[in-house]
Structure 1
Amino acid sequence: MKMSYREALRQAMREALITDPRVFLMGEDVGKYGGTYAVSKGFIEEFGSERIRDTPLSELGFVGAGIGAALGGMRPIVEVMTVNFSLLALDQIVNTAAAMRHMSGGQFNVPVVIRMATGAGRQVAAQHSHSLEGWYAHIPGIRVLAPATVADARGMLAPALADPDPVIIFEHAQLYNMEDDIVPAAACDIRFAAVRRKGTDVSLFAYSGCLPKAMDAAQRLAEEGIDAEVIDLRVLRPLDIESIAASVRKTHRAVVVDEGWKTGSLSAEIMACIMEHAFYDLDAPLARVCSAEVPIPYARHMEEAALPQPHTIAAAAKQLMGKT
């Protein structure tokens, strides 16, 4: 059965609302408007305004309210319209939610799920387009997920809601219309990366909106006789270091693809992990493909030039293979 990424998210939330009375959704435009990306369309009619709560335009306020509700025994799903706007709630997420278990000596948990759109490619300019997942992956006390497939969009929410600690789910805005066949719903194991394509020559590590690009690059490489393995990181904190190292031990080469900027990036952390755990298995220097070190441009051709693309990923892999 074909299903869109958007519908997979919607079904996962609807199931959570039906099965657990503690679950409720809150955020800007999630109710009457049906969500900025139409993920919660029809929810307010089905579940009512007590459980589908439109909030004021104050991320600091409503994210804090969600954290308070989680401390009080609820299971809130807090939707932040875009990752750029989540910066207004950093104090609540980093200083309160992430630190509460530690600061309370294990007496309090904050079982809140925070969903937010991320990424570029839609011509909405710099204040709505950045990929800041690496910022959140830096913080102890939270789990960071980045579903890049329809199946993961459907299956990650249930285990996230069951987690006693805060979970942030990043949904790349370019993926909402993506469709794929999906088997009957099954919860994902949100501890591990996933091998999306097996290969023997080079490992392509990607996540979120860059996964389809990495898959495209792997197909291009196959046409030139290069067998690329594609690893969907999907769990950005804690990183599944063993799966990363296992792939490098098999292929002996690695390209890390990250829509974030290179400087201080998640790609740098992944490369450091490879050096720590699989250095002697490498047959070539590590490579990475990231966004240009500029605010994301508005103009279509400039935006595309600033972002990782299949041909730039393939070119990096070919260079490692000595086939430039």
Structure 2
Amino acid sequence: KEEGHVDPEHGMELLDEAEDNIERSLSLSGDVEAIRADALAAMDQAEAIAPTAKRPRKSFEMGEREVKLGSLREGEMLFRTSKKYANEIIEWWGVAEKAIAEAGRQLQDKKGDGISHLKEMLSDARKKLAAEAPKKAYEFAVVIPAQLAADDDALGKAAESLKEAHRQLKQTDGLDTKAMVERLEQAEEALDAGNAGQAIGLADGVVRSIQTEREAMDTVQRALRQRKKLVAQYEARDDREAWDSRMETIEKAADEQRWSEASSMLASMNQDLDKEGKASEEALELYDFVMDEWRVLRNQCEAASIAVDDEDRRATEQSVALAEEALGVGRIEDCLEQLGAADAAMERLRRRI
């Protein structure tokens, strides 16, 4: 049913609107045709570079179908997509192929854990190119030579670390090097497999072990040369046998070239001797203090007619004597106990004076 024939004014508005729509359609059709021409040119150029590429033509043909069906907007979008795919091929396909070829050339005949990773990257780059994503393919492939160079530098550093470890291993007279030799063999295997990090870690570990063992050997040998000074710190003690046993264990470890173990035991023994020595000094100070107090109190007992055979006086004399005896042989706990007993007896005497 026609509209606008009753109301002429409304009819004219409809005609104007129809005319505008026709003009817009004609304009859009012209724009789409220009975009189509650009897409076609780009597609032809891309196919000349990469004959196997399909994405630009597929989008282009879909765009033509939409235009024939009257869907100009959808056709325009598909032409633009075709041009986008084509331009990526034009810009990146050639450089991606060159980057992949160069990476493949440099990786040829290479092996090792790090190389396996780079070969996986190269495989991914080829897959990206096959999927018509040349920019991504280039980004994957172009970093491979730099990483390969870094790996080569790391392998060079690993070789230097092994060389240094072997040099120091030749200067290990007096050290047990069995475990170090085994670790160096493992480092050599890691280097041959292209695992620079592991080789460096093992070789540097051997060097550190040599340095540690050498320092431990020097410490133990120096202490054993001064054995008399060490023994003098405990020879008068009641528990001398226990200290002698510790000393013998250290000497046995030294004889077997277990220097780190011997050094650790020596350090522990010195620490314990220092602790006992400090305790002895503190006990001696307390003993001297009690003796000074007792000398004064003993004179006061004489003045107060408290005889030598007095029970409290005898208890004090006995406790002081036992404290001196215990202190002399290193029984610090017994010494302190007797000094406490002497102090208690002296306090009883003070109350009687």
TM bin (shorter chain): under 0.3
Which is greater in Rg? 2
TM-score (norm 1): 0.19
TM-score (norm 2): 0.18
Query: Whose RCO is larger (CA < 8 A, sep 6+)?
Result: 1
Which structure dedicates a bigger proportion of its chain to helix?
2
Which structure dedicates a bigger proportion of its chain to strand?
1
